[in-house]
Chain A
Amino acid sequence: MQSKAKAFPWQELLLPLVAVVLALLVGSAFILYVGENPLKAYGILFKESLGSIRNIATTLQRATPLMFTGLAVAFAFRAGLFNIGAEGQLYMGAFCAVWVGISFDLPRIIHLPLAILAAMVGGALWASIAGYLKAKLGVHEVINTIMLNFIALFLTDWLVTGPFHGGSWVPETVRIKPTAAFSRIYPPTRLTTAVYLAVAAAAVAYVILWKTKRGYELRAVGLNPHAAEYGGINVARNTLIAMAISGAFAGLAGAEQILGLHNRFIVRFSSDLGFMGIAVALLGKNHPAGVLIAAVLFGALQAGSAAMDRSTSVPRELITIIQALIIFFVAAEFLIRRMLRLKEDA
């Protein structure tokens, strides 16, 4: 008698792949429009992002925060929640990390973990606001998390240009103490040990979701809250917990940006990392392993875009366009299934 799940569902992998291919195809229309050869442009793009160890390191650095925000969004999706607030949660997490990083003098072995923990707590608490409002009052988390994004943005803006201002004429804090920083793995690239943390986080997400009672309950709530309630599962409590954990992951993205990349809080440092997390989660089919792979893909696109920009007349914003197209195609799964005449979900 078999207990393992049946053969690997190759069909499930096909959809994200098709979405990416379609996005690249439509992207090549834009490349042609500016008068360049798509193969040449994509060639430079991928060579620059994956063509040498150094390039791969840069790609991985770019991918790291996306791994965290992707995990955040994916985790929430698994519990049936739509966390668009990863952006705000990462800012709050980042701020907590920078606060610990500049305010204390501690040996590295305590300082860095403490800062990381602070980031997780910051993100978790921020996400819990929306989680609480959903669990207790039934207010949909989408609008609330969007609002909280902006509130976090302005709040940290104020903190960093006001009480925590670094004193210079740029809107940023002082640098964190070196004991709170992630170490560089492959200088001169900006890749830090945070990437190991990201992989570990993915493993933790996997274990929580599939190997613990909590994860069983969270996923049940996401798949069928009526049956979950019937089975004695507390839907409201699990909603809150899921948002908190999701926020913690997003907070870690902030940790990487502060403790790894910039070593200080620069106002508005995130260029849509939270929103890209949605794309990464969707592309990765809300699975931790998928999220890691999707994050690397997006990281590669970003890492290669500058070189493509320099060597051709294709503006680097093409990457943003392609990323948006990927989201379109993944979201329109129905369309792709029709196209490939695949079996449709109920």
Chain B
Amino acid sequence: MAKVLEMRGITKQFPRVLANDSVDFDLEYGEIHALVGENGSGKSTLMSILYGLYQKDAGEIIVRGQPVEISEPRQAIDLRIGMVFQHFMLIEPLTVAENIVLGSEVRKGPFLDYKKMVAEGRRLSEEYGLEIDPEAKIADLSVGLQQRVEILKALYRGAEILVLDEPTAVLTPQEVDDLIEVLRNLKAKGTSIVFITHKIKEVLAVSDRVSVLRRGRKIGTKLTAETNEQELAEMMVGRVVLLQVEKGPAHPGREVLRLENVSVKDQFGHVKVNNVNLSVRSGEVLGIAGVEGNGQSELVEAIAGLRRVSGGRIYLSGQDITGWSPLRIRRAGFGFVPEDRHRRGLVLDYSVADNLILGIHGSKPFVNKAGLRSQGQIDEYAERLIAEYDVRPPVAGQAVRNLSGGNQQKVVVAREFDQNPDLLICSQPTRGVDVGAIEFIHRQVIAQRDRGAAVLLVSAELDEVLSLSDRVAVMYNGEIVSVMPIGEATEHKLGFLMLGGRPEEYQAGEVSGSAIQS
């Protein structure tokens, strides 16, 4: 079949990461082509380049046989390329019809032709089977329906190539089925579709071909009919390079954290965490593996008191801490390395010393009897921690903003670990951290475990989870899909579960990584 789109040798470098490394991608007329990979694999970047939101550093783009340069969305739209973003670009107070035509309005003289707008919206939705009321306000629509508006926006502008970026991330299972139906209709009408996702089941359900990206490189392209979940998981997750951390066996003791039927909703009312039950004991590391966006962030924030729980209860060392303030939870013996150190974990314009006492800043000895801060005590404490955790450069007074990512993370880790909390949660603890600091942080995590802390590790890095955990759980779509001892966990199995596979369907067939002996 002829190709409607070819991207050859696309390379894109961001300040600290090579997002696309000479990637080839092509799309045939009338096909649905799934583009898959984990977070950070480069799939969104590739499509953003196609849509003119980013400029490629190298490579070429050929649309319908003609080489093109796309430097802004308008040009992509003119080439009949449409994109449905993961975060909707919709104007809430306006209606469906208004959102669809925005920028390419239907006019009657100097005025908007409302009748025509609505009629056009209706016609499109009927033609493509995307039932929606053109006069409804976006704010009143469910997420699934809002997504249809995004698709209609693209179709209105004559999109023949439609790119959908993680379209099912925000949908309920029923809505996912509806979407798949819609895509089949579109395909029948001749639209060529690129479907970005990390969920293997969807890939198999709807695509003709699938291309896998990993860490900015294209691993391979296969006909969907000729592949299966295991193979795709393997391609996506790849061979795991194990950073072997030396550790002795775990000696789990009393239960420190218990989650009973915990559910968490986000500000739009969507369920992000669905009836989770978990238990973590002192002296063990429970690792939660999962692609980001499956509810881990919300779960962790709920435990930390930074988010409200919509159902269930949380127990810390036997105490019901559901609904407690962050301060109270901290004081009950809780340490937390957050996934976003710039937003949650650090006050970037504060000094290293001031960041090291965040959370304990009001206690003695940092505040003296007169209520004034004891700079001497603070500095002493800071200097000790800087030495112990090897923060570089070792200057307590400099702004933490000036430190490298790895050293910033060490500041957070130092602060949280030094308190010797009963429960320690580490969320993506080595993201954006250099290898040397990664090793250091991993050793510290094991040290905390051996001291008797209960450690809950949340990470999208499989090798990290496999290296540090004593037990492993997998989170997918807001639920804990499976919990297993480390001996039963292989990267292959975990990859499978992380991408939506059901535990009972897993066959330990072709294993390309080795099972970890505990």
Direct contact of A and B (CB under 8 A): yes
Residues of B within 8 A of A1 (CB): 383, 386, 394-396
Interface range for A: 20 to 34
B220 is an interface residue with CB less than 8 A from chain A: no
B 379-400 binary contact with A (CB < 8 Å = 1; else 0):
1001100100000001111100
In the complex, the answer to whether A231 meets B358 with C-beta atoms within 8 Å is: yes
Given contacts A3-B397, A6-B398, whether A223 and B325 have CB atoms under 8 Å apart is: no
Given contacts A1-B394, A3-B379, whether A220 and B347 have CB atoms under 8 Å apart is: yes
In the complex, the answer to whether A2 meets B361 with C-beta atoms within 8 Å is: no
| Segment of B43-51, B99-107, B159-167, B338-346 engaged in the interface with chain A | B338-346
Q: A223 contacts which of B326, B348, B383 (Cβ < 8 Å)?
A: B348
In the complex, the answer to whether A220 meets B358 with C-beta atoms within 8 Å is: yes
Residues of A within 8 A of B346 (CB): 224, 227
B367 is an interface residue with CB less than 8 A from chain A: yes
A217 is an interface residue with CB less than 8 A from chain B: yes
Q: Which residue on B lies nearest to A220, using beta carbons? A: B347
Give A6 to B401 CA distance when docked, in angstroms: 14
Q: B347 contacts which of A4, A212, A227, A346 (Cβ < 8 Å)?
A: A227
Q: B398 contacts which of A5, A226, A233, A234 (Cβ < 8 Å)?
A: A5
Given contacts A5-B397, A226-B344, A227-B345, whether A232 and B373 have CB atoms under 8 Å apart is: no
Name the residue in B330, B358, B366 with the highest tally of chain A Cβ atoms < 10 Å from its Cβ.
B358
In the complex, the answer to whether B349 meets A223 with C-beta atoms within 8 Å is: yes
How many residues of B are counted as interface, with CB atoms below 8 angstroms from the partner's CB atoms? 39
CB distance from B86 to the nearest CB of A (A): 22
In the complex, the answer to whether A213 meets B347 with C-beta atoms within 8 Å is: no
B304 is an interface residue with CB less than 8 A from chain A: yes
Give A219 to B379 CA distance when docked, in angstroms: 19
A207 is an interface residue with CB less than 8 A from chain B: yes
Give A223 to B354 CA distance when docked, in angstroms: 13
Given contacts A2-B396, A5-B398, A213-B367, whether A230 and B326 have CB atoms under 8 Å apart is: yes
In the complex, the answer to whether B372 meets A6 with C-beta atoms within 8 Å is: no
Q: A5 contacts which of B330, B351, B383 (Cβ < 8 Å)?
A: B351
B61 is an interface residue with CB less than 8 A from chain A: no
B362 is an interface residue with CB less than 8 A from chain A: yes
B353 is an interface residue with CB less than 8 A from chain A: yes
In the complex, the answer to whether B396 meets A232 with C-beta atoms within 8 Å is: no
Give A227 to B411 CA distance when docked, in angstroms: 14
Residues of B within 8 A of A224 (CB): 343, 346-348
Q: Which residue on A lies nearest to B327, using beta carbons? A: A232
Give A50 to B350 CA distance when docked, in angstroms: 38
B68 is an interface residue with CB less than 8 A from chain A: no
CB distance from A5 to the nearest CB of B (A): 5
Give A258 to B325 CA distance when docked, in angstroms: 45
B485 is an interface residue with CB less than 8 A from chain A: no
In the complex, the answer to whether B371 meets A230 with C-beta atoms within 8 Å is: no
CB distance from B233 to the nearest CB of A (A): 35
In the complex, the answer to whether B379 meets A223 with C-beta atoms within 8 Å is: no
Q: Which residue on A lies nearest to B330, using beta carbons? A: A232
B 269-307 binary contact with A (CB < 8 Å = 1; else 0):
000000000000000000000000000000000001010
Residues of A within 8 A of B348 (CB): 223-224
Give A269 to B343 CA distance when docked, in angstroms: 45
In the complex, the answer to whether A2 meets B397 with C-beta atoms within 8 Å is: yes
From 8 to 34 in chain A, residues with beta carbon under 8 angstroms from any chain B beta carbon are none
Given contact pairs A211-B372, A229-B306, a sample of 5 additional A-B residue pairs in the complex whose CB atoms are under 8 Å apart: A1-B396, A212-B372, A217-B361, A220-B358, A227-B343
* 5 A-B interface contacts by CB (under 8 A): A2-B395, A5-B397, A207-B372, A213-B373, A230-B306
Task: Give me the interface of A with B, judged by CB distance under 8 Å.
Answer: 1-6, 207, 211-213, 216-217, 219-220, 223-224, 226-234, 346
- Nearest first, the 5 closest Cβ-Cβ pairs linking A and B are A232-B327, A231-B358, A3-B379, A213-B362, A231-B359
